[in-house]
Copies of this chain bind each other. A is one copy, B any other.
Amino acid sequence: MADLLTRLMHLNAEYAATLDDDRLEDWPDFFVTECLYKITSADNVRDGNEAGIVYADSRAMLADRVLALRRANIYERQSYRHIVSLPRLTGTDKAETPFLVVRTMRDGRMDLFAAGRYVDRFDDSAGMLHFRERIVVCDSARFDTLVAIPL
């Protein structure tokens, strides 16, 4: 268990740094080809509502999403900082990990942008861990329009 936990921490740390360093083009590589990525809210999950605010079911869709963000976000200069808490194994290929994202605006103001948990199914067949599923369950259902950024 210790080794898998260590590898999950490593995976989560790399994932967070890729987003916070704005290396979005590398983000799809954390997923298997046929994956599921979704941003949703705790309310949605509780109500059995399968729809998400963001939904992608392949690595190609994630890459498309990054292209769209690059075109759209020319004027945005906020930065984000993911604080990832301790992962928790919930099955042989499942984990849940709490996260917090702090946003820093161009003028230096900081706020709590998102909090929640990652609900993951991972794949270990390629010598390293990839996400088969990463469901980002946000505690708040009130999303900033900018939630278009990956979490």
Task: Give A contacts to B, CB under 8 Å.
Answer: 1-3, 5-6, 9-10, 12-14, 16-17, 20, 42, 79, 81-88, 96, 98-100, 102, 104, 107-112, 115-117, 139-142
Contact = CB atoms under 8 A, between A and B. Distances in A.
A102 B110 contact: no
A110 B110 contact: no
B142 A108 contact: yes
**What is the copy number of this chain in the assembly?**
3
Given A102-B100, A116-B81, A109 B5 contact: no
A12 B12 CA distance: 17
B85 A16 contact: yes
Given A82-B85, A85-B82, A115-B102, A141 B14 contact: no
